[in-house]
Amino acid sequence: DPCRNFHCKRGKVCHADEEGKPSCICQDPAACPSTKGYEHVCGTDNKTYDGTCQLFGTKCQLEGTKRGRQLHLDYMGSCKHIPHCTNYEVDQFPLRMRDWLKNILMQYYEHDLDTSGFLTKRQRIKVKKIYQNDKRLVAGDHAVELLLHDFEKNYHMYVYPVHWQFHQLDQHPVDRLLTHSELAPLRASLVPMEHCITRFFQECDGDEDKLIALKEWCHCFGIKE
């Protein structure tokens, strides 16, 4: 099979011609496998797609057009009304996001106490220091004032979680810059719950080059140089 080890980017599939030469062609959205309702996704055109296969296949067929350039995965789930993000809400967003990232690492560390797998040895050493800090907040909903006080008092506990998330996303390629595609896995899963995340990432891009550098990312989360 000439297509066995032939890689195509999302939205395209391998096709072998009469001579057996493989090439990438656009995925036919109608030929995508059927999905369950919970696998639906919302595109930036505010249209619900049956899944990512259908979304990226559609984007590929629109390649070279304005609509194709503007079409991306917006968030997981069917399209719905996303409330407007106020200035006050976007200012408070880093507080909740920092706390959430810290708590994810806490959960990974606790899981790895029984069976390793989530964190590398080096990561566990870093997270252990945070985990053993008896001043850390228990996971849950906290008042903005408490989150701000904890950030100011235990600043060092929040630096690594912010760096860790950046490097988790910075994969294609690893260049200390986050593209729209690299941000998508985090953004798309959080939009339905955190309606300010889109505006937050837009404002993180201080020089408006459609890339978020590590320095811009840290600045957004209040991490000093």
20: pLDDT confidence band, cut at 50, 70 and 90? Answer: confident
Query: Residue 95: what pLDDT?
Result: 93
25 φ/ψ angles, rounded to the nearest 5 degrees: -125, 160
pLDDT tops 80 at residue 27: yes
Looking at residues 57-66, what average pLDDT do you find?
A: 95
Closest CA to 50 of 23, 31, 22, 67: 31
Portion of the chain with pLDDT greater than 70, in percent? 98
pLDDT tops 70 at residue 93: yes
Query: Residue 60: what pLDDT?
Result: 96
Query: Residue 86: what pLDDT?
Result: 94
> Per the confidence metrics, is the pTM higher than 0.85?
no
Instruction: List, in order, residues 6 or more apart from 169 with CB less than 8 Å away.
Output: 178, 182, 183, 185, 186
Query: Residue 134: what pLDDT?
Result: 60
Q: What is the pLDDT of residues 104-163, one digit of tens each?
A: 998 888 888 777 678 888 898 889 888 887 666 777 788 889 899 989 988 989 999 999
Domains along the chain with CATH numbers: 12-76 (3.30.60.30), 87-221 (1.10.238.10)
